[in-house]
Structure 1
Amino acid sequence: MEDRDSRRWGQKGTAGATFAGLLEFEHVSKRFGRTAAVQDVSLTLEPGEIACLLGPSGCGKTTLLRIAAGIERPDSGRLLFDGQEMAGPSRFVPPEKRNIGLMFQDFALFPHLSIIDNVAFGLKNLPREEALKIARHALERVGLARYAANYPHHLSGGEQQRVALARAVVPRPQVMLMDEPFSGLDQRLRESVRAETLTLLRETRASCLLVTHDPVEAMGLADRIFLMRQGNLVQSGTPEQLYRHPADAAAARFFSDTNEVKGLVQGSAVVTPLGRFPLPRGGNGREALVLIRPQGLKRAAEGEGIEGLVTEARFQGDDVKCTVLFNGLEEPLTALIHSRSAPSRGNAAWFRIDPEHVFVFDSATSQPIS
């Protein structure tokens, strides 16, 4: 079945368009026993926007999605859809009346229904012939029309994922909710299915809120990212904003590996064994935490920059992952160097630090020093 998954999907331009919805969370909170799953979260999904709820397991992102779907009720706060209250102190609208498409990581296909009947399941208000025509059209779009008469157990995981996507979009929902929809696919298949899903979502013009724990996936899919941690909304913005301007040290660590170096604020810079890093404002005596992404350590010409001893060098294709010891540091740092210019293990080499990959935080609060 793997060769079927690797084929291109159906022709573009066949997805039905709809009017995108505006989804708003206003000070939403939800507890399960003594555990606060979501705490006073406010966010807005704009019409036609593709946004990701991003964070580690247990941070509250799936709970927010279930509140949007109507599967859970908030303990406080409100959920609004195009300005109308869907859940709140005075009203609760059941899931089937919200014009929201749902797609979860286990696909939830009906094993006793054929593929085309699975896709047509949400079109019961239409005559059967019309519903089957629309369902077949959706299967063509995801490249599975010839398996319409098959059953879910006949298909691979990637094919089942596409069927679930087709079923979710055929009712033309104004908002699509997707919970880790690609987590069960292998890496190669995940990338291709993810790209085609993004294309289909753009064609339908539905607003989409997608849950993921993968920052690379979020940056590749989202117009905007909502970063969650321990039930709280930590930061929101475009992928570039969150990557280049993390709200705190934990946010910086979440988006990539980091090297951590301690320093001391002196005047308008942080002084470390690797050199001085400028600050927007001056100060004295504060301890600082400097985070440097591995790609921020660049190879320099001999005699320029900082000398270090390469204790390990692992080839990774385009890059070589180097472990480097520098004078004044107790722990080695990790550097990602292009394979054409990477040093060899056991040799000394010179490095410079790209300031775009350097973040300075207060050691006590983990907040940016400004």
Structure 2
Amino acid sequence: MTPDIHPVLELLHVSKTYPGGSVKAVDNISLSVEKGAILALVGESGSGKTTLLRTIAGLEVPDEGSLILSGQVISEGRKAVPVHKRNIGMVFQDYALFPHMTIAENIGFGLKGMTQAEKKRIIEETLALTNLEENPGKYPHQLSGGQQQRVALARALAPKPEILLLDEPFSNLDSILHDRVREDLRKIVKATGITTILVTHHTRDALSMADQVAVIHKGRLLQMDAPRMIYNHPVSGYVANLFGKYSCINCIRTEGGMQTPFGKMPAGNTEISPRMSRLFCRPEHIIVLKKNSPQPAEGSVLTGVVEAATFLGDHVRIEVKPENAQKARLILHADTFYEPGTNLRFIIRPYKFVDFGDPEAE
């Protein structure tokens, strides 16, 4: 039997402007999410990602466009299916737990139209799924931040929604809990098979949790792709910068490749268009060659001079300049501290030629 790969959620040309606003909070966004997938909406504060999430939930009505959930149109123009009829679960940023209810009562709050036995069974199953079996009689104030988040998640999962929405779910957690809770949350969500949309401004959360990442900027969808593609193949300097340090240096086209300030780079299997005049890479893509090591079979060896070195614990951040007077700079991560003025030989793998510049120049 062919697996169901039809999208659970489709957004078609959705736009939203708040009353009195001069610009669109969401501007002509179209995307789709497949069954069981996790989509991360990423962007800076004010980018429109939370507005888009609230529009999916039904808390905001779009001015234009359509939303389709499991084949049913739930919003089109100013007409929308009410929130309580969308079968959508949501975990809010502040969890919004009922303080006067126990964990079990919070989880069972949304379970309507069933017998007490059915309700009890679902609560017990959800408690087990979220590792809360030992605490059903406790109240929210008696729990840690991580446990409160799991209660909020359990309450959203108990009615078995078609889609789960997570609004900045890790913002109230300290750095020690953050990574562990994120890993637990992904395991729980994947175990249910429920399609999930996560809103976050933490790019590490998006890359590690999501199957697809959508970058939102000024209300527009800039890029939607798999995490590795977003990180290694950004479509603009803005997207590249959002996901961490990178280098982007000017090149001059030559036969079979590009001449960089650090040496010649072959084109490889990449077709270089006339607009592609810069080389893009991440710090970890630059591999320093030890003294007297042979030239690798693949790629050209580049040369440069260490301008600055910073020890950061698990790696040393190195800034390399060309041997000539050009202003280009490369940032790389090394396992050895190199004093400024040291000559380095290195290769870049992988790399790509791009037609975008630095985000400040765009």
Name the structure 1 match of 2:339.
345
Structure 1 position 126, deviation (Å): 2.3
When structure 1 is superposed on structure 2, of 106-115 and 257-266 the one drifting more is: 257-266
Q: Is the 8 A contact 1:119 1:163 kept in 2?
A: yes
Structure 1 position 274, deviation (Å): 1.5
Equivalent residue in structure 1 for 2:96, among 98, 105, 108: 108
Q: Is the 8 A contact 1:54 1:211 kept in 2?
A: yes
Equivalents in 1 of 2:256, 2:356: separation in Å? 14
Q: Provide Cα deviations, 1:87-129, integer angstroms capped at 9, x if missing partner.
A: 1137311111111111122111111212111111101322345
Q: Provide Cα deviations, 1:63-93, integer angstroms capped at 9, x if missing partner.
A: 1111110000000011111221111137311
Equivalent residue in structure 1 for 2:194, among 185, 197, 206: 206
Segments of structure 2 that go 5 or more residues without pairing to the other structure are 1-5, 293-300
Pair 1:323 & 2:319 matched: yes
Structure 1 position 154, deviation (Å): 1.3
Matched ranges for 1:187-336 at <5 A: 187-266=175-254, 269-278=257-266, 280-281=271-272, 283=274, 288-302=277-291, 305-317=302-314, 319-327=315-323, 328-330=325-327, 333-336=330-333
Structure 1 position 144, deviation (Å): 2.1
1:207 corresponds to which letter in structure 2? Answer: T
Equivalents in 2 of 1:85, 1:71: separation in Å? 16
Pair 1:166 & 2:154 matched: yes
When structure 1 is superposed on structure 2, of 227-236 and 347-356 the one drifting more is: 347-356
Q: Is the 8 A contact 1:52 1:210 kept in 2?
A: yes
1:251 corresponds to which letter in structure 2? Answer: V
TM-score where L is the length of structure 2: 0.85
Q: How many residues are treated as equivalent by the alignment?
A: 342
1:123 corresponds to which letter in structure 2? Answer: L
Equivalents in 2 of 1:330, 1:77: separation in Å? 47
Q: Is the 8 A contact 1:343 1:349 kept in 2?
A: no
Q: Percent identity?
A: 35
Q: Is the 8 A contact 2:241 2:359 kept in 1?
A: no
- 3-state SS of 1:73 partner: coil
2:272 corresponds to which letter in structure 1? Answer: R
Q: Provide Cα deviations, 1:300-330, integer angstroms capped at 9, x if missing partner.
A: 244763131353230422x222233433343
Name the structure 2 match of 1:29.
15
Q: Provide Cα deviations, 1:117-151, integer angstroms capped at 9, x if missing partner.
A: 11111013223453234223322322222222221
TM-score where L is the length of structure 1: 0.83
Equivalents in 2 of 1:231, 1:80: separation in Å? 20
Structure 1 position 297, deviation (Å): 2.4
1:182 corresponds to which letter in structure 2? Answer: F
